[in-house]
Chain A
Amino acid sequence: MKKNTSIATLSIIQMRDVSASYDSQNFVLKNVSMNVKRGTNYAIVGASGSGKTTLLKLMNGMMIPSSGVVLYNYQKPDLKNKEYKKSIAKIGYISQTLGLVKNSSVLDNVLIGALPRLNAVKSFLKMFPKDEIDTAHEVLNLVGLDTKSNRKVHMLSGGEKRRVAIARALMQKPDILLADEIVSELDSVTAREVMDVIKDAQRKFKLTAIMIHHDMNLALEYANRVAVIKDGDKVLEIGVDGEQIIDFQTGDLTQEEIMEMYNEPKK
């Protein structure tokens, strides 16, 4: 690869020999290393329980590694660190369960993404500046939900809820979007619609996206790079170049060996 020092090739997420555990006995991630460059469309796939969600939570500091180093923007994600708490507002995070406030309207949910930019008094009185409300309608328009902005979230369909979660993340004016299986439960047509929304947003806001997928084909279709996780291990990092699948991790696997490995986690 060619050496290049433009901002586009700077890393946004770096992991070195990261292990993670929920009970400090069973390690759900073992010595994972990865490097995600700015502007990349990165995908993570793997079987259920392989550790994908855990990996994502390490990136924004919702989880602290047992050993190894995680860096977001050359900084350790740590929610107890005041300096980092400011930058977390720029990490768009969509959890596997979406985390929407079901009894609030679509618009109110989206505006939550702007709260870190609002002072305590104004946010308590729900006094959003006009430009923030305009931005909210803009992102709702982008995800195709502006006509339903007053609807309560619990009255939306599954696909619509995902769009609200995306809109809220975009409202954060993020540098990076972390999305956990947000299209897995949708039919393939709706899934692609939602993915296209994200692709548009990415182009518009020059976002880096790290997305967990269930479907390897979908991952390869939308991402520049796909990391395959198996039992807490990153076993592959691949990408598509024309008809070829390239092994970025070791650089010496043959096409057949890759196919063999990546077919496995699909169940």
Chain B
Amino acid sequence: MNPKNNLLIGAIIAVVVVMSYDVGVDPIAFVDGLPNLGIVLKEMTEFESEHWGIAFWAMLETIEMAFIGTLAGVMISLPLSIFAARNISSKYVYVPLRALLAATRTFPSILWAILFVIMVGLGPFAGILAITLYTIGFISKLQYESIEAIDYDPVEATTAIGLSKIQLIRYVIIPESAPHLLSQILYMFDYNVRQTSILGIVGAGGIGFYIINYIKFFEYGKAAVFMLVVLIAVLAIDWISVKIRDRYIMKAQHGQQVKVKTN
């Protein structure tokens, strides 16, 4: 290794130490606190069975919110991404539009949820609006980037045939940029389920509402079980999206073969 790298690594470690001191990182508190985990685990075993039903319905609501928000966001993103693509749209449209989309991505969805709770009141609708907005910011960006990355070859060839701009978008741009869309939607849904799980903390619906309330009333066992439900749901959704991706997306890619796992 060259000395320059060593110096750099040393400098980074020094910075981390200084920062840790500044924010009060305390390893001793961590070790001292470990037995508290045991208390939580013990309380978890005292979880009453009728709560499973509540946890299930709360998780279902969370998933529904994420699903609606994701789909609504995607629907709105599709036309927006065309207006935001540099290779199709005019500068006077894409520059402000991109700035707006960047702004929606600046805040995590929980901050948008606070705004929508103020606007439309407590409950899942505010959460759905927050998820929709965040999805618009994200999917539009992914989508305009894949529109900008499409092969120029069919665009040139169909221009030479004399297609209008609308025909070009409909018959070349959309089909050429769509294969990534399904994978982006799956990824976004996955992400949105996790986001929606905490929106209840600010009163925007979903399972997070229960978790924050149990924590407030020191019912850590119940809170932990509800978190466990979130974990199981997220893992399940993750697993399902991997299956869908393998089945539909790998095959959809240009001439690529589906890789078969051998283990």
Binding site for B on A (CB under 8 A): 60, 62, 79, 85-86, 88-89, 91, 93-95, 97-104, 108, 112-113, 115-116, 118, 120, 123-124, 126, 154-155, 168, 172
Min CB distance A148 to B, Å, is: 15
Interface residue ranges of B151-174 to A (CB < 8 Å): 151, 153-164, 166-167, 170-172
A115 with B154: CB separation less than 8 A: no
Which single residue of chain B is at the shortest CB-CB distance from A101?
B154
Q: Which residues of A contact B176 (CB under 8 A)?
A: 101-103
A99 with B171: CB separation less than 8 A: no
Min CB distance B258 to A, Å, is: 13
In Å, the complex CA distance between A113 and B164 comes to 12
In the assembled complex, B38 has its CB within 8 A of some CB on chain A: no
In Å, the complex CA distance between A112 and B160 comes to 12
Q: Which residues of A contact B163 (CB under 8 A)?
A: 112, 115-116
Q: List 10 A-B contacts (CB under 8 A).
A: A79-B159, A88-B162, A95-B160, A97-B157, A98-B157, A99-B157, A101-B171, A101-B172, A103-B176, A120-B166
A101 with B175: CB separation less than 8 A: yes
Which residue of B160, B167, B170 is within 8 Å of A88 (Cβ)?
A: B160
Q: Which residues of B contact A99 (CB under 8 A)?
A: 153-158, 160
In the assembled complex, B259 has its CB within 8 A of some CB on chain A: no
In the assembled complex, B216 has its CB within 8 A of some CB on chain A: no
Which single residue of chain B is at the shortest CB-CB distance from A96?
B153
Residue among A101, A112, A123, A126 with most chain B CB within 10 A: A101
Min CB distance B228 to A, Å, is: 42
In Å, the complex CA distance between A91 and B11 comes to 66
In the assembled complex, B261 has its CB within 8 A of some CB on chain A: no
In the assembled complex, B178 has its CB within 8 A of some CB on chain A: yes
In Å, the complex CA distance between A108 and B166 comes to 16
* Given contact pairs A93-B157, A95-B157, A172-B161, A103 touches B179 in the complex (Cβ within 8 A): yes
In the assembled complex, B4 has its CB within 8 A of some CB on chain A: no
Min CB distance A106 to B, Å, is: 13
B161 with A88: CB separation less than 8 A: yes
* Given contact pairs A101-B172, A103-B178, A103-B179, A112 touches B158 in the complex (Cβ within 8 A): yes
Q: Which residues of B contact A89 (CB under 8 A)?
A: 161-162
Which residue of A103, A116, A155, A168 is within 8 Å of B162 (Cβ)?
A: A116
Min CB distance A59 to B, Å, is: 10
In Å, the complex CA distance between A188 and B214 comes to 77
In Å, the complex CA distance between A85 and B167 comes to 15
Which single residue of chain B is at the shortest CB-CB distance from A111?
B171
